[in-house]
Structure 1
Amino acid sequence: MFFPEYRPRRLRRNETLRSLVRETELSLNHLIYPLFVVEGHGIKEEVPSMPGVFRFSVDLLKEEIKEIIDLGLPAVILFGIPAQKDEIGSEAYAKKGVVQRAISAIKKIAPELLVITDVCLCEYTSHGHCGIIKGSEVDNDLTLEQLARVAVSHAKAGADMVAPSDMMDGRVARIREALDEAGFSHIPIMSYAVKYCSSFYGPFRDAAESAPQFGDRRSYQMDPANVREALREATLDVEEGADILMVKPAMPYLDVITRLREEFNHPIAAYQVSGEYAMIKAAGKLGWLDEERAMMESLISIRRAGADIILTYFAKEIAKKLAK
Protein backbone atom coordinates (compact mmCIF):
# COMPACT_ATOMS: atom_id res chain seq x y z
CA MET A 1 0.00 0.00 0.00
CA PHE A 2 1.39 3.36 -1.01
CA PHE A 3 1.56 6.21 1.51
CA PRO A 4 2.79 9.73 0.77
CA GLU A 5 6.14 10.72 2.20
CA TYR A 6 4.44 13.57 4.05
CA ARG A 7 1.60 12.59 6.34
CA PRO A 8 -0.27 15.67 7.64
CA ARG A 9 -1.82 13.67 10.49
CA ARG A 10 1.59 13.28 12.12
CA LEU A 11 1.28 16.87 13.40
CA ARG A 12 -2.32 16.46 14.56
CA ARG A 13 -1.84 13.57 17.01
CA ASN A 14 -2.12 15.58 20.23
CA GLU A 15 -2.73 19.12 21.46
CA THR A 16 0.96 19.85 22.03
CA LEU A 17 1.76 19.11 18.39
CA ARG A 18 -1.31 20.97 17.16
CA SER A 19 -0.39 24.03 19.23
CA LEU A 20 3.19 23.94 18.02
CA VAL A 21 2.20 24.32 14.36
CA ARG A 22 -0.93 26.44 14.80
CA GLU A 23 -0.91 29.24 12.22
CA THR A 24 -3.43 31.66 13.72
CA GLU A 25 -3.57 32.82 17.33
CA LEU A 26 -6.21 34.68 19.28
CA SER A 27 -5.12 36.73 22.27
CA LEU A 28 -6.66 39.38 24.50
CA ASN A 29 -4.54 41.99 22.73
CA HIS A 30 -6.71 41.51 19.64
CA LEU A 31 -10.03 42.29 21.36
CA ILE A 32 -12.22 45.34 21.99
CA TYR A 33 -15.30 45.02 24.19
CA PRO A 34 -18.42 47.06 23.33
CA LEU A 35 -20.19 48.84 26.22
CA PHE A 36 -23.65 50.44 26.26
CA VAL A 37 -24.20 53.38 28.61
CA VAL A 38 -27.58 54.95 29.38
CA GLU A 39 -28.85 57.98 31.22
CA GLY A 40 -30.23 57.47 34.72
CA HIS A 41 -29.04 55.94 37.99
CA GLY A 42 -28.81 52.42 39.30
CA ILE A 43 -29.40 50.86 35.88
CA LYS A 44 -28.00 47.51 34.82
CA GLU A 45 -30.39 45.91 32.38
CA GLU A 46 -29.77 42.94 30.12
CA VAL A 47 -30.44 43.35 26.41
CA PRO A 48 -33.15 40.74 25.68
CA SER A 49 -31.75 39.75 22.29
CA MET A 50 -28.13 39.69 23.51
CA PRO A 51 -27.82 37.38 26.55
CA GLY A 52 -24.99 38.46 28.83
CA VAL A 53 -24.82 42.01 27.41
CA PHE A 54 -26.06 44.86 29.59
CA ARG A 55 -26.86 48.55 29.46
CA PHE A 56 -25.28 50.47 32.34
CA SER A 57 -25.91 53.86 33.83
CA VAL A 58 -22.65 55.71 34.43
CA ASP A 59 -22.83 55.28 38.22
CA LEU A 60 -22.79 51.46 37.85
CA LEU A 61 -19.85 51.24 35.45
CA LYS A 62 -17.26 50.79 38.19
CA GLU A 63 -17.85 47.07 38.79
CA GLU A 64 -17.98 46.32 35.07
CA ILE A 65 -14.78 48.22 34.32
CA LYS A 66 -12.95 46.51 37.17
CA GLU A 67 -13.98 43.12 35.79
CA ILE A 68 -12.77 44.12 32.31
CA ILE A 69 -9.40 45.18 33.75
CA ASP A 70 -9.09 42.04 35.92
CA LEU A 71 -9.73 39.91 32.83
CA GLY A 72 -6.90 41.66 31.01
CA LEU A 73 -8.93 43.19 28.20
CA PRO A 74 -7.13 46.20 26.72
CA ALA A 75 -9.95 48.33 25.27
CA VAL A 76 -13.65 49.17 25.20
CA ILE A 77 -15.79 50.99 22.68
CA LEU A 78 -18.65 53.10 24.04
CA PHE A 79 -22.18 53.49 22.69
CA GLY A 80 -24.51 55.97 24.38
CA ILE A 81 -28.29 56.08 24.77
CA PRO A 82 -29.44 59.58 25.82
CA ALA A 83 -32.57 60.44 27.80
CA GLN A 84 -33.72 62.91 25.14
CA LYS A 85 -33.39 62.72 21.37
CA ASP A 86 -33.91 65.42 18.75
CA GLU A 87 -33.72 65.79 14.99
CA ILE A 88 -30.04 66.80 14.97
CA GLY A 89 -28.71 64.49 17.69
CA SER A 90 -27.45 67.36 19.84
CA GLU A 91 -26.96 65.14 22.92
CA ALA A 92 -24.20 63.34 21.01
CA TYR A 93 -21.84 66.27 21.56
CA ALA A 94 -23.22 67.66 24.85
CA LYS A 95 -20.46 68.47 27.34
CA LYS A 96 -22.24 66.41 30.00
CA GLY A 97 -23.67 63.82 27.62
CA VAL A 98 -23.87 60.21 28.67
CA VAL A 99 -20.79 59.08 26.70
CA GLN A 100 -18.76 62.11 27.76
CA ARG A 101 -19.49 61.36 31.42
CA ALA A 102 -18.81 57.66 30.91
CA ILE A 103 -15.39 58.42 29.42
CA SER A 104 -14.48 60.55 32.43
CA ALA A 105 -15.74 57.92 34.88
CA ILE A 106 -13.84 55.09 33.18
CA LYS A 107 -10.61 57.07 33.10
CA LYS A 108 -10.87 57.70 36.85
CA ILE A 109 -11.40 53.99 37.50
CA ALA A 110 -8.88 52.61 35.00
CA PRO A 111 -6.62 55.20 33.35
CA GLU A 112 -4.78 52.47 31.47
CA LEU A 113 -7.88 51.13 29.71
CA LEU A 114 -8.09 52.28 26.09
CA VAL A 115 -11.42 54.06 25.62
CA ILE A 116 -12.74 54.24 22.05
CA THR A 117 -15.97 56.02 21.17
CA ASP A 118 -18.45 55.34 18.43
CA VAL A 119 -19.06 58.57 16.51
CA CYS A 120 -22.51 58.55 14.96
CA LEU A 121 -25.90 60.21 15.40
CA CYS A 122 -28.32 57.28 15.10
CA GLU A 123 -28.58 56.71 18.86
CA TYR A 124 -29.25 60.42 19.41
CA THR A 125 -31.64 61.41 16.64
CA SER A 126 -35.40 61.19 17.05
CA HIS A 127 -35.68 59.69 13.55
CA GLY A 128 -32.95 57.08 14.10
CA HIS A 129 -30.86 57.91 11.05
CA CYS A 130 -27.12 58.48 11.14
CA GLY A 131 -27.26 62.10 9.98
CA ILE A 132 -29.23 65.29 9.56
CA ILE A 133 -32.45 64.89 7.59
CA LYS A 134 -33.17 67.41 4.87
CA GLY A 135 -36.45 66.74 3.13
CA SER A 136 -36.62 62.97 3.17
CA GLU A 137 -32.89 62.28 2.78
CA VAL A 138 -29.84 62.34 5.02
CA ASP A 139 -27.82 65.45 4.13
CA ASN A 140 -24.23 64.30 3.88
CA ASP A 141 -22.39 67.62 4.26
CA LEU A 142 -24.53 69.02 7.07
CA THR A 143 -23.95 65.78 8.94
CA LEU A 144 -20.17 66.14 8.68
CA GLU A 145 -20.22 69.22 10.90
CA GLN A 146 -22.21 67.39 13.58
CA LEU A 147 -19.87 64.41 13.47
CA ALA A 148 -16.85 66.69 13.87
CA ARG A 149 -18.46 68.23 16.98
CA VAL A 150 -19.11 64.78 18.42
CA ALA A 151 -15.54 63.59 17.85
CA VAL A 152 -14.02 66.70 19.44
CA SER A 153 -16.37 66.45 22.43
CA HIS A 154 -15.24 62.86 23.00
CA ALA A 155 -11.59 63.82 22.78
CA LYS A 156 -12.12 66.65 25.27
CA ALA A 157 -13.76 64.19 27.65
CA GLY A 158 -10.67 61.95 27.52
CA ALA A 159 -11.30 59.41 24.75
CA ASP A 160 -8.19 57.69 23.41
CA MET A 161 -9.62 57.01 19.95
CA VAL A 162 -12.72 57.88 17.92
CA ALA A 163 -14.53 55.55 15.55
CA PRO A 164 -16.91 57.16 13.03
CA SER A 165 -19.58 54.64 11.97
CA ASP A 166 -21.99 56.85 10.00
CA MET A 167 -20.74 56.12 6.46
CA MET A 168 -21.04 59.73 5.28
CA ASP A 169 -18.70 60.70 2.45
CA GLY A 170 -15.75 62.75 3.68
CA ARG A 171 -16.33 62.18 7.40
CA VAL A 172 -12.78 60.99 8.18
CA ALA A 173 -11.22 64.09 6.62
CA ARG A 174 -13.60 66.45 8.44
CA ILE A 175 -13.10 64.72 11.79
CA ARG A 176 -9.32 64.66 11.32
CA GLU A 177 -9.36 68.39 10.54
CA ALA A 178 -11.55 69.17 13.56
CA LEU A 179 -9.45 67.09 15.95
CA ASP A 180 -6.24 68.70 14.74
CA GLU A 181 -7.67 72.21 15.03
CA ALA A 182 -8.81 71.48 18.59
CA GLY A 183 -5.36 70.28 19.66
CA PHE A 184 -6.01 66.56 19.40
CA SER A 185 -3.70 65.59 16.56
CA HIS A 186 -2.58 62.61 18.67
CA ILE A 187 -6.05 61.03 18.73
CA PRO A 188 -6.33 58.21 16.15
CA ILE A 189 -9.35 57.48 14.00
CA MET A 190 -10.60 53.92 13.62
CA SER A 191 -12.93 54.27 10.66
CA TYR A 192 -15.87 52.02 9.97
CA ALA A 193 -14.48 52.13 6.46
CA VAL A 194 -16.52 49.23 5.08
CA LYS A 195 -19.90 49.08 6.80
CA TYR A 196 -22.54 47.06 5.02
CA CYS A 197 -26.29 47.61 5.21
CA SER A 198 -26.69 44.32 7.02
CA SER A 199 -29.55 42.34 8.55
CA PHE A 200 -27.16 41.31 11.33
CA TYR A 201 -27.54 44.60 13.23
CA GLY A 202 -30.98 43.86 14.68
CA PRO A 203 -30.03 43.13 18.30
CA PHE A 204 -27.74 46.19 18.41
CA ARG A 205 -30.62 48.43 17.40
CA ASP A 206 -32.56 46.88 20.25
CA ALA A 207 -29.68 47.61 22.66
CA ALA A 208 -29.01 51.15 21.42
CA GLU A 209 -32.61 52.09 20.61
CA SER A 210 -31.39 53.24 17.21
CA ALA A 211 -33.70 51.68 14.62
CA PRO A 212 -34.70 54.14 11.84
CA GLN A 213 -38.20 55.53 12.25
CA PHE A 214 -38.69 55.52 8.47
CA GLY A 215 -36.95 54.01 5.49
CA ASP A 216 -33.62 52.27 5.92
CA ARG A 217 -29.89 53.00 5.62
CA ARG A 218 -29.23 51.63 2.16
CA SER A 219 -28.54 55.09 0.75
CA TYR A 220 -25.39 55.43 2.87
CA GLN A 221 -24.37 51.98 4.10
CA MET A 222 -22.82 49.58 1.59
CA ASP A 223 -24.62 47.08 -0.63
CA PRO A 224 -23.83 43.54 0.67
CA ALA A 225 -23.19 42.41 -2.92
CA ASN A 226 -20.15 44.66 -3.42
CA VAL A 227 -16.47 44.06 -2.70
CA ARG A 228 -14.68 46.34 -5.19
CA GLU A 229 -16.63 49.21 -3.68
CA ALA A 230 -15.19 48.21 -0.29
CA LEU A 231 -11.69 48.81 -1.63
CA ARG A 232 -12.72 52.23 -2.93
CA GLU A 233 -14.25 53.15 0.43
CA ALA A 234 -11.14 52.02 2.31
CA THR A 235 -8.85 53.89 -0.09
CA LEU A 236 -10.79 57.11 0.48
CA ASP A 237 -10.55 56.73 4.25
CA VAL A 238 -6.80 56.11 4.08
CA GLU A 239 -6.37 59.22 1.94
CA GLU A 240 -8.46 61.22 4.43
CA GLY A 241 -6.34 60.18 7.41
CA ALA A 242 -7.82 57.02 8.93
CA ASP A 243 -5.41 55.15 11.21
CA ILE A 244 -7.34 51.85 11.38
CA LEU A 245 -9.79 50.41 8.83
CA MET A 246 -12.80 48.43 10.01
CA VAL A 247 -15.06 45.94 8.25
CA LYS A 248 -18.57 45.45 9.67
CA PRO A 249 -20.07 42.81 10.01
CA ALA A 250 -17.26 40.27 10.21
CA MET A 251 -18.19 36.67 9.42
CA PRO A 252 -20.45 37.30 6.39
CA TYR A 253 -17.62 39.43 4.96
CA LEU A 254 -14.48 37.42 5.66
CA ASP A 255 -13.55 37.74 1.98
CA VAL A 256 -13.69 41.53 2.31
CA ILE A 257 -11.41 41.45 5.37
CA THR A 258 -8.93 39.39 3.37
CA ARG A 259 -9.06 41.77 0.41
CA LEU A 260 -8.37 44.76 2.67
CA ARG A 261 -5.52 42.90 4.36
CA GLU A 262 -3.97 42.24 0.95
CA GLU A 263 -4.41 45.80 -0.30
CA PHE A 264 -3.51 47.95 2.73
CA ASN A 265 -0.76 48.12 5.32
CA HIS A 266 -3.03 49.80 7.87
CA PRO A 267 -4.28 47.77 10.83
CA ILE A 268 -7.53 46.02 9.96
CA ALA A 269 -10.37 45.75 12.48
CA ALA A 270 -13.52 43.66 12.18
CA TYR A 271 -16.73 43.98 14.16
CA GLN A 272 -18.36 40.68 15.11
CA VAL A 273 -21.76 42.30 15.34
CA SER A 274 -24.79 41.72 17.54
CA GLY A 275 -26.52 39.35 15.13
CA GLU A 276 -23.46 37.13 14.87
CA TYR A 277 -23.25 37.01 18.68
CA ALA A 278 -26.99 36.41 19.13
CA MET A 279 -27.07 33.53 16.61
CA ILE A 280 -24.33 31.62 18.42
CA LYS A 281 -25.92 32.32 21.80
CA ALA A 282 -29.36 31.18 20.64
CA ALA A 283 -28.11 28.02 18.93
CA GLY A 284 -26.00 27.20 21.96
CA LYS A 285 -28.96 27.61 24.30
CA LEU A 286 -31.05 25.28 22.15
CA GLY A 287 -28.27 22.71 22.09
CA TRP A 288 -27.88 22.93 18.34
CA LEU A 289 -24.15 23.59 18.59
CA ASP A 290 -21.38 23.80 21.16
CA GLU A 291 -21.48 27.51 22.05
CA GLU A 292 -17.92 27.78 23.35
CA ARG A 293 -16.38 25.98 20.38
CA ALA A 294 -18.48 28.00 17.92
CA MET A 295 -17.41 31.21 19.65
CA MET A 296 -13.73 30.33 19.36
CA GLU A 297 -14.04 29.07 15.78
CA SER A 298 -15.84 32.21 14.67
CA LEU A 299 -13.20 34.50 16.16
CA ILE A 300 -10.29 32.45 14.81
CA SER A 301 -11.88 32.66 11.35
CA ILE A 302 -11.92 36.46 11.60
CA ARG A 303 -8.27 36.51 12.62
CA ARG A 304 -7.37 34.02 9.88
CA ALA A 305 -9.08 36.24 7.30
CA GLY A 306 -6.63 39.00 8.24
CA ALA A 307 -8.13 41.09 11.05
CA ASP A 308 -5.65 42.50 13.55
CA ILE A 309 -8.41 43.72 15.88
CA ILE A 310 -11.83 42.23 16.68
CA LEU A 311 -14.69 44.08 18.32
CA THR A 312 -16.79 41.37 19.95
CA TYR A 313 -19.42 40.92 22.65
CA PHE A 314 -17.69 37.62 23.45
CA ALA A 315 -14.57 39.44 24.70
CA LYS A 316 -15.13 38.74 28.40
CA GLU A 317 -15.98 35.09 27.74
CA ILE A 318 -12.88 34.69 25.59
CA ALA A 319 -10.77 36.25 28.35
CA LYS A 320 -12.12 33.77 30.89
CA LYS A 321 -11.49 30.85 28.55
CA LEU A 322 -7.92 31.92 27.76
CA ALA A 323 -7.20 32.28 31.48
CA LYS A 324 -8.00 28.62 32.16
Structure 2
Amino acid sequence: MTDQAGRTRLARARGLSDMTHHQVPASFTVTLSCPNRPGIVAAIATTLYEADGNITEAQQFDDVETGLFFMRVVFSIRTDGERLDWLRARLGAVAERFHMNWTLHDRAVRRRVLLMVSKFDHCLADLLYRWRIGELPMTPTAIVANHPRAAYGHIDMADIPFHHLPVTRDNKAEQEERLWTLVRQTNSELVVLARYMQVLSDSLTARLSGRCINIHHSFLPGFKGARPYHQAHARGVKLIGATAHYVTADLDEGPIIEQDVERVSHFDTPADLVRKGRDIERRVLARAVRYHLDDRVILNGNKTVVFGD
Protein backbone atom coordinates (compact mmCIF):
# COMPACT_ATOMS: atom_id res chain seq x y z
CA MET A 1 0.00 0.00 0.00
CA THR A 2 1.39 3.42 -0.96
CA ASP A 3 1.76 6.05 1.71
CA GLN A 4 -0.91 8.23 0.06
CA ALA A 5 -3.36 5.33 -0.22
CA GLY A 6 -2.69 4.49 3.41
CA ARG A 7 -3.41 8.05 4.50
CA THR A 8 -6.62 8.07 2.48
CA ARG A 9 -7.82 4.86 4.09
CA LEU A 10 -6.87 6.12 7.54
CA ALA A 11 -8.73 9.39 6.92
CA ARG A 12 -11.77 7.34 5.96
CA ALA A 13 -11.45 5.41 9.23
CA ARG A 14 -11.23 8.68 11.15
CA GLY A 15 -14.49 9.83 9.59
CA LEU A 16 -16.67 7.07 11.01
CA SER A 17 -19.96 7.66 12.86
CA ASP A 18 -20.19 9.32 16.26
CA MET A 19 -20.98 5.97 17.83
CA THR A 20 -17.70 4.54 16.53
CA HIS A 21 -15.88 7.66 17.60
CA HIS A 22 -16.79 6.96 21.21
CA GLN A 23 -15.45 3.42 21.08
CA VAL A 24 -13.20 2.60 24.06
CA PRO A 25 -9.57 2.56 22.87
CA ALA A 26 -7.71 -0.73 22.91
CA SER A 27 -4.23 -1.06 24.41
CA PHE A 28 -1.30 -2.47 22.46
CA THR A 29 2.42 -3.05 23.04
CA VAL A 30 5.05 -2.73 20.36
CA THR A 31 8.58 -4.01 21.00
CA LEU A 32 11.58 -3.73 18.74
CA SER A 33 15.30 -4.23 18.42
CA CYS A 34 17.55 -3.06 15.60
CA PRO A 35 20.93 -1.52 14.81
CA ASN A 36 21.06 1.87 16.48
CA ARG A 37 20.80 4.96 14.28
CA PRO A 38 19.13 8.37 14.49
CA GLY A 39 15.40 8.62 13.84
CA ILE A 40 14.09 5.38 15.32
CA VAL A 41 12.12 6.93 18.19
CA ALA A 42 10.81 9.69 15.95
CA ALA A 43 9.62 7.20 13.33
CA ILE A 44 7.71 5.12 15.88
CA ALA A 45 6.21 8.14 17.64
CA THR A 46 5.17 9.73 14.33
CA THR A 47 3.52 6.52 13.15
CA LEU A 48 1.51 6.20 16.34
CA TYR A 49 0.56 9.89 16.19
CA GLU A 50 -0.69 9.56 12.61
CA ALA A 51 -2.85 6.62 13.72
CA ASP A 52 -4.32 8.76 16.53
CA GLY A 53 -2.56 6.53 19.04
CA ASN A 54 -1.83 7.72 22.56
CA ILE A 55 1.50 6.59 24.06
CA THR A 56 1.04 5.65 27.72
CA GLU A 57 4.42 4.08 28.43
CA ALA A 58 7.77 4.12 26.63
CA GLN A 59 11.12 2.59 27.51
CA GLN A 60 14.30 2.30 25.48
CA PHE A 61 17.87 1.07 25.79
CA ASP A 62 20.93 1.75 23.68
CA ASP A 63 23.47 -1.08 24.02
CA VAL A 64 26.75 0.67 23.30
CA GLU A 65 28.64 -2.65 23.33
CA THR A 66 26.65 -4.21 20.50
CA GLY A 67 25.37 -1.10 18.76
CA LEU A 68 21.79 -2.33 19.11
CA PHE A 69 18.74 -0.33 20.13
CA PHE A 70 15.79 -1.76 22.08
CA MET A 71 12.38 -0.21 22.69
CA ARG A 72 9.03 -1.03 24.27
CA VAL A 73 6.02 1.22 23.79
CA VAL A 74 2.52 0.82 25.22
CA PHE A 75 -0.17 2.85 23.48
CA SER A 76 -3.95 3.05 23.18
CA ILE A 77 -5.82 3.35 19.91
CA ARG A 78 -9.36 3.05 18.60
CA THR A 79 -9.56 -0.06 16.42
CA ASP A 80 -12.47 1.10 14.28
CA GLY A 81 -12.48 0.78 10.50
CA GLU A 82 -9.13 0.10 8.86
CA ARG A 83 -7.06 1.97 11.43
CA LEU A 84 -5.30 -1.08 12.88
CA ASP A 85 -4.54 -2.56 9.45
CA TRP A 86 -3.02 0.77 8.43
CA LEU A 87 -0.94 0.87 11.60
CA ARG A 88 0.42 -2.65 11.11
CA ALA A 89 1.36 -1.87 7.52
CA ARG A 90 3.02 1.41 8.50
CA LEU A 91 4.94 -0.19 11.38
CA GLY A 92 6.05 -2.91 8.96
CA ALA A 93 7.41 -0.25 6.61
CA VAL A 94 9.26 1.45 9.49
CA ALA A 95 10.65 -1.92 10.59
CA GLU A 96 11.93 -2.64 7.10
CA ARG A 97 13.56 0.76 6.91
CA PHE A 98 15.43 0.30 10.18
CA HIS A 99 15.99 -3.49 9.91
CA MET A 100 13.96 -4.16 13.05
CA ASN A 101 12.85 -7.30 14.77
CA TRP A 102 9.47 -6.23 16.12
CA THR A 103 6.22 -7.42 17.65
CA LEU A 104 2.78 -5.87 18.07
CA HIS A 105 0.57 -7.35 20.77
CA ASP A 106 -3.04 -6.63 21.71
CA ARG A 107 -2.87 -6.46 25.50
CA ALA A 108 -6.45 -7.74 25.82
CA VAL A 109 -5.43 -11.06 24.22
CA ARG A 110 -4.04 -13.41 26.83
CA ARG A 111 -1.01 -15.50 25.96
CA ARG A 112 -1.54 -19.26 25.91
CA VAL A 113 0.83 -20.98 28.38
CA LEU A 114 1.68 -24.66 28.87
CA LEU A 115 3.00 -25.54 32.35
CA MET A 116 5.37 -28.42 33.13
CA VAL A 117 6.19 -29.88 36.53
CA SER A 118 8.02 -32.76 38.24
CA LYS A 119 8.03 -33.82 41.88
CA PHE A 120 8.34 -30.38 43.48
CA ASP A 121 5.14 -28.46 42.77
CA HIS A 122 5.49 -25.21 44.72
CA CYS A 123 6.16 -23.15 41.58
CA LEU A 124 3.20 -24.69 39.76
CA ALA A 125 0.87 -23.98 42.70
CA ASP A 126 2.14 -20.40 42.89
CA LEU A 127 1.67 -19.72 39.17
CA LEU A 128 -1.88 -21.09 39.26
CA TYR A 129 -2.70 -18.94 42.28
CA ARG A 130 -1.34 -15.80 40.62
CA TRP A 131 -3.30 -16.67 37.46
CA ARG A 132 -6.55 -17.06 39.45
CA ILE A 133 -6.22 -13.69 41.16
CA GLY A 134 -5.45 -11.97 37.85
CA GLU A 135 -1.78 -11.23 38.48
CA LEU A 136 -0.67 -13.31 35.49
CA PRO A 137 -2.72 -12.48 32.37
CA MET A 138 -2.47 -15.86 30.68
CA THR A 139 -4.58 -18.78 29.55
CA PRO A 140 -3.18 -22.09 30.87
CA THR A 141 -3.54 -24.59 28.03
CA ALA A 142 -2.26 -27.74 29.74
CA ILE A 143 -0.26 -29.10 32.65
CA VAL A 144 2.35 -31.70 31.72
CA ALA A 145 4.00 -33.80 34.42
CA ASN A 146 6.26 -36.81 34.64
CA HIS A 147 4.33 -37.96 37.71
CA PRO A 148 0.66 -39.04 37.78
CA ARG A 149 -2.07 -36.54 38.66
CA ALA A 150 -2.58 -38.11 42.08
CA ALA A 151 0.83 -36.74 43.08
CA TYR A 152 -0.63 -33.23 42.83
CA GLY A 153 -4.00 -33.95 44.45
CA HIS A 154 -3.72 -30.98 46.81
CA ILE A 155 -3.49 -28.49 43.92
CA ASP A 156 -6.67 -27.12 42.38
CA MET A 157 -6.03 -27.43 38.65
CA ALA A 158 -9.60 -26.42 37.78
CA ASP A 159 -10.44 -27.70 34.31
CA ILE A 160 -6.92 -27.33 32.90
CA PRO A 161 -6.12 -30.51 30.92
CA PHE A 162 -3.53 -32.69 32.68
CA HIS A 163 -1.11 -34.90 30.76
CA HIS A 164 1.06 -37.54 32.41
CA LEU A 165 4.16 -38.04 30.26
CA PRO A 166 6.65 -40.11 32.25
CA VAL A 167 10.15 -39.94 30.77
CA THR A 168 12.72 -42.71 30.73
CA ARG A 169 15.96 -43.13 28.85
CA ASP A 170 14.19 -45.38 26.36
CA ASN A 171 11.12 -43.24 25.64
CA LYS A 172 12.47 -39.68 25.92
CA ALA A 173 12.38 -38.96 22.18
CA GLU A 174 8.84 -40.33 21.88
CA GLN A 175 7.56 -38.33 24.86
CA GLU A 176 9.14 -35.14 23.57
CA GLU A 177 7.34 -35.59 20.26
CA ARG A 178 4.10 -35.98 22.20
CA LEU A 179 4.92 -32.82 24.09
CA TRP A 180 5.68 -30.90 20.89
CA THR A 181 2.41 -32.12 19.36
CA LEU A 182 0.60 -30.89 22.47
CA VAL A 183 2.27 -27.48 22.23
CA ARG A 184 1.09 -27.14 18.63
CA GLN A 185 -2.41 -28.53 19.21
CA THR A 186 -3.04 -26.13 22.09
CA ASN A 187 -1.46 -23.18 20.26
CA SER A 188 0.72 -22.59 23.30
CA GLU A 189 2.88 -19.49 22.92
CA LEU A 190 4.95 -20.05 26.06
CA VAL A 191 6.15 -23.17 27.90
CA VAL A 192 7.09 -22.79 31.57
CA LEU A 193 9.25 -25.38 33.31
CA ALA A 194 7.90 -24.94 36.84
CA ARG A 195 10.58 -27.14 38.43
CA TYR A 196 10.33 -29.67 35.61
CA MET A 197 13.49 -31.65 36.14
CA GLN A 198 13.91 -33.45 32.83
CA VAL A 199 16.56 -32.05 30.49
CA LEU A 200 15.03 -31.14 27.14
CA SER A 201 16.79 -32.31 23.99
CA ASP A 202 18.64 -29.92 21.68
CA SER A 203 15.98 -30.50 19.04
CA LEU A 204 13.11 -29.49 21.32
CA THR A 205 14.90 -26.49 22.81
CA ALA A 206 15.57 -25.22 19.28
CA ARG A 207 11.85 -25.45 18.47
CA LEU A 208 10.98 -23.62 21.68
CA SER A 209 13.65 -20.94 21.30
CA GLY A 210 12.69 -17.72 23.06
CA ARG A 211 9.42 -19.12 24.41
CA CYS A 212 10.41 -21.62 27.09
CA ILE A 213 11.23 -20.36 30.60
CA ASN A 214 12.99 -22.44 33.25
CA ILE A 215 13.49 -21.77 36.94
CA HIS A 216 16.86 -22.95 38.23
CA HIS A 217 17.18 -23.38 41.95
CA SER A 218 20.54 -21.64 42.08
CA PHE A 219 22.00 -18.22 41.45
CA LEU A 220 23.45 -19.09 38.06
CA PRO A 221 26.11 -19.40 36.79
CA GLY A 222 27.16 -20.92 40.13
CA PHE A 223 26.17 -24.38 41.43
CA LYS A 224 24.69 -25.88 38.27
CA GLY A 225 23.27 -29.37 37.98
CA ALA A 226 21.83 -31.53 40.75
CA ARG A 227 21.42 -30.62 44.44
CA PRO A 228 22.65 -27.01 44.11
CA TYR A 229 21.62 -26.09 47.66
CA HIS A 230 23.70 -28.95 49.02
CA GLN A 231 26.59 -27.75 46.85
CA ALA A 232 26.13 -24.25 48.22
CA HIS A 233 26.00 -25.51 51.81
CA ALA A 234 29.19 -27.47 51.32
CA ARG A 235 30.91 -24.27 50.14
CA GLY A 236 29.59 -22.26 53.09
CA VAL A 237 27.89 -19.62 50.98
CA LYS A 238 26.30 -16.57 52.58
CA LEU A 239 23.81 -15.96 49.78
CA ILE A 240 21.52 -18.37 47.96
CA GLY A 241 19.35 -17.54 45.01
CA ALA A 242 17.30 -18.61 42.01
CA THR A 243 17.47 -17.83 38.31
CA ALA A 244 14.75 -17.74 35.65
CA HIS A 245 16.07 -18.02 32.11
CA TYR A 246 15.13 -19.00 28.59
CA VAL A 247 15.95 -22.60 27.81
CA THR A 248 18.68 -23.30 25.26
CA ALA A 249 20.69 -26.34 24.22
CA ASP A 250 23.43 -25.25 26.66
CA LEU A 251 22.17 -26.62 29.98
CA ASP A 252 21.37 -23.86 32.48
CA GLU A 253 23.12 -21.26 30.30
CA GLY A 254 20.19 -19.62 28.49
CA PRO A 255 19.55 -15.85 28.54
CA ILE A 256 18.73 -14.79 32.11
CA ILE A 257 15.43 -12.98 32.70
CA GLU A 258 15.29 -12.58 36.48
CA GLN A 259 17.27 -13.48 39.62
CA ASP A 260 17.00 -12.96 43.35
CA VAL A 261 18.98 -13.88 46.47
CA GLU A 262 18.54 -14.32 50.20
CA ARG A 263 21.14 -14.18 52.95
CA VAL A 264 21.91 -17.37 54.90
CA SER A 265 24.38 -18.23 57.63
CA HIS A 266 26.38 -21.08 59.10
CA PHE A 267 23.35 -21.92 61.27
CA ASP A 268 21.35 -22.98 58.20
CA THR A 269 21.24 -26.66 57.26
CA PRO A 270 20.78 -27.93 53.69
CA ALA A 271 17.07 -28.37 54.55
CA ASP A 272 16.89 -24.71 55.61
CA LEU A 273 18.44 -23.66 52.32
CA VAL A 274 15.93 -25.76 50.38
CA ARG A 275 13.04 -24.24 52.36
CA LYS A 276 14.25 -20.68 51.82
CA GLY A 277 15.07 -21.48 48.23
CA ARG A 278 11.48 -22.50 47.49
CA ASP A 279 10.30 -18.99 48.33
CA ILE A 280 12.94 -17.41 46.09
CA GLU A 281 12.10 -19.77 43.21
CA ARG A 282 8.40 -18.93 43.37
CA ARG A 283 8.82 -15.19 43.18
CA VAL A 284 11.62 -15.24 40.60
CA LEU A 285 9.69 -17.50 38.23
CA ALA A 286 6.48 -15.51 38.67
CA ARG A 287 8.26 -12.26 37.86
CA ALA A 288 9.95 -13.75 34.79
CA VAL A 289 6.67 -15.14 33.45
CA ARG A 290 4.90 -11.82 34.10
CA TYR A 291 7.66 -9.89 32.32
CA HIS A 292 7.38 -12.21 29.31
CA LEU A 293 3.59 -11.98 29.20
CA ASP A 294 3.82 -8.19 29.38
CA ASP A 295 6.36 -7.97 26.51
CA ARG A 296 9.03 -6.62 28.83
CA VAL A 297 11.78 -9.04 27.73
CA ILE A 298 13.74 -8.67 24.49
CA LEU A 299 16.51 -11.09 23.58
CA ASN A 300 19.97 -9.59 23.12
CA GLY A 301 22.18 -12.46 21.98
CA ASN A 302 22.90 -14.62 25.02
CA LYS A 303 21.49 -11.91 27.30
CA THR A 304 18.17 -10.11 27.67
CA VAL A 305 16.97 -6.56 27.92
CA VAL A 306 14.27 -6.46 30.60
CA PHE A 307 12.14 -3.34 30.90
CA GLY A 308 10.94 -3.56 34.49
CA ASP A 309 7.75 -2.07 35.84
In the superposition, the TM-score normalised over structure 2's length comes to 0.29
Greater RCO, CA 8 A, separation 6+: 1
**More strand by percentage:** 2
**More helix by percentage:** 1
In the superposition, the TM-score normalised over structure 1's length comes to 0.28
